[in-house]
Amino acid sequence: MTRPLADPHLSLVRPVVPRTPQGCEECLRIGSAWVHLRLCLTCGQVGCCDSSPMKHARGHAASAGHPIVQSFEPGEDWRWCYSDEAYV
């Protein structure tokens, strides 16, 4: 994994509680499947990754202006900025 970069969007990171710890909030609502989960570090929305059919985490980042997510997979703690397309 590459070394994380300093990112101006890190100021948007807040202490969050996952809103739907059982899975992707939008996929659960519409009955869709997901591959991996991402946690929005601004509001706690749980969304599905870019390998998932609906890509809800990326859509949330774009529509809500919340670009920083953390993997919501067991044993993973990396963070990603959708705005800068980089690990943070």
**Per-residue pLDDT tens digits for 37-69:** 999 999 999 999 999 999 999 999 999 999 999
Rg of the chain over CA atoms, in angstroms? 12
Q: Which residues of 49-69 are buried (b: 16+ CB within 10 A; e: fewer)?
A: beebebbbbbebbeeeebbbb
Strand, coil or helix: what is 9?
helix
Q: Residue 8: its pLDDT value, please?
A: 82
Q: Residue 21: its pLDDT value, please?
A: 97
Q: How many CB atoms lie within 10 A of CB 31?
A: 6
pLDDT band at 5 (very low <50, low <70, confident <90, very high): low
Cα–Cα distance for residue pair 53/41, rounded to 1 Å: 22
Structure tokens at 42: 């601004």
Q: Residue 20: its pLDDT value, please?
A: 98
Would the pTM of this model clear 0.75, i.e. be above it?
yes
Q: What is the mean pLDDT of residues 8-36?
A: 96
